[in-house]
Chain A
Amino acid sequence: MANPAVHAPPVAASAERKLPSWLTLGIIFGVVSAASILLWGPIGVSGTYPRFIAAISRYVVPDYATSNPYLAKMPKFFTTETMLVVGLLIGGFVASRLGKDAKPAMQMVHASEKTPTSRYRDAFIGGFLIILGARIAGGCTSGHIISGITQLSVSGMIFAAGVFAAGIVTAKSLARGGR
């Protein structure tokens, strides 16, 4: 915290005295997630993407919006989950401006990402697959894993097993040198 430029993990000796940030932030996130279920409902993000498609297609291709049985179930755009996503956008903006790491440098994820273009390509492919997969499964990290398992839902546990199995295999196989 003292030196924002250094993101290196703290040395073992000093980690004893100060709580690691994932611990404090995880407890707070758990309280916020529980408060959501108390006040309005379990959190969920991925449904907002097809809701966006439904809202656009009602103007551009109204026939498709009404004939597609999935889109027909989404007559309203500004639902609680859409507001949650708007909040995430604001939260990310506020946190980065309050912190000292405004304008984060681009983080390459895999060794194969040598240029910004290859990072954009992987972000696009990844974004495509996460929403396709989340909609098939009926939820994503927030709806199935966080709020799903919080409610002890069996579907959330099956989804999490699939996500981490495929995620770990994919990330490791894309790692440099085939390590």
Chain B
Amino acid sequence: MDLLYALLSGVAMGVLIQRVRASDPGMIGRNLRLENLSIIKFMALTIAVGMILVYLLSLVTPMHFDIKPTYVVGVLVGGLIFGAGFGIGGYCPGTCVVGFGEGRKDAIWAIIGGIVGALVFTLVYTTLVQPMNKLMDLGKITLADVFHAPAVAVAIVVAVIFFIVIRLLPTETGSARG
């Protein structure tokens, strides 16, 4: 049943990603050059709506939470490498799959690059990644742990901050002109 739920979540998300044009690498380029912020605002809104819902639901029903460990060095180094790749290719691991489904010819090259990247990752895992990811490992922590506050309260405060920032940010910044 979990497999079916996951498949259906994927179909829904694939449709939404295609509709909002997050699977269009040109659109990602415009967002990362800060000419258009629609995808960044879309992501922030998704997160803010999701965090209120999951922590309100958690008060009445068990949730399948799964917090990833915060090994500060590895997460940051990985994020910087990821960001460089996101800026060069304009795809993330999910949007290239959506783009391939749409029929984008460059998307398959991002997927092939990803498969090669995964192979290289397994080759350097024991020598480079495992030692690095032991540095500054804070464990599975959330903002609620950091502030010693109820998660639902933290979620509402963070989501409200997100809503305000989304409201204040323009969608078209105008730096695309000229």
Binding site for B on A (CB under 8 A): 9, 20-23, 25-43, 45-46, 48-50, 52-53, 68-71, 78, 80-81, 83-96, 99, 102-104, 106-110, 116, 119-172, 174-175
> CB distance B93 to A39 under 8 Å?
no
- For B133, list chain A residues within 8 Å (CB): 136, 138
B75 at the interface (CB under 8 A from A): yes
B77 at the interface (CB under 8 A from A): yes
Q: A38-B63, A123-B25, A131-B121 are in contact. Are A154 and B70 (CB under 8 A)?
A: yes
Nearest chain-A residue to B146 (Cβ)?
A: A154
Q: A131-B118, A171-B32, A175-B33 are in contact. Are A166 and B84 (CB under 8 A)?
A: yes
Besides A70-B121, A128-B114, 19 new A-B residue pairs in contact (Cβ under 8 A), listed by A number: A26-B45, A26-B49, A38-B61, A38-B63, A39-B5, A53-B115, A53-B119, A93-B101, A102-B103, A124-B112, A129-B117, A130-B86, A130-B93, A132-B81, A136-B132, A141-B43, A151-B65, A156-B68, A170-B83
> CB distance B171 to A20 under 8 Å?
yes
B11 at the interface (CB under 8 A from A): yes
In the complex, A78 Cα to B7 Cα: how many Å?
A: 11
> CB distance B151 to A152 under 8 Å?
yes
Bitwise interface map of B from 149 to 160 toward A, beta carbon under 8 Å scored 1, else 0:
001001100100
In the complex, A92 Cα to B108 Cα: how many Å?
A: 13
> CB distance A133 to B171 under 8 Å?
no
Binding site for A on B (CB under 8 A): 2-20, 23-29, 32-34, 36, 38-39, 41-51, 53-55, 57, 61, 63-72, 74-107, 109-122, 125-126, 129-130, 132-133, 138, 140-146, 151, 154-155, 158, 171-172
Nearest Cβ on chain A to B78's Cβ, whole angstroms: 3
> CB distance B68 to A126 under 8 Å?
no
- Which of B66, B106, B125 contacts A120 (CB under 8 A)? B106
Q: A154-B146, A155-B75 are in contact. Are A174 and B171 (CB under 8 A)?
A: no
Nearest chain-A residue to B27 (Cβ)?
A: A107
> CB distance B100 to A89 under 8 Å?
yes
> CB distance A104 to B102 under 8 Å?
yes
A-B complex: 9 closest residue pairs judged by Cβ atoms:
A126-B89, A91-B14, A87-B10, A162-B79, A129-B85, A137-B78, A30-B49, A127-B113, A92-B101
Contact residues of A: prevailing secondary structure = helix
In the complex, A41 Cα to B10 Cα: how many Å?
A: 12
> CB distance B79 to A133 under 8 Å?
yes
- Which of B41, B92, B102, B155 contacts A141 (CB under 8 A)? B92
> CB distance B113 to A126 under 8 Å?
yes
- Which of A91, A109, A129 contacts B25 (CB under 8 A)? A109
- For B95, list chain A residues within 8 Å (CB): 141
- For B112, list chain A residues within 8 Å (CB): 124, 127
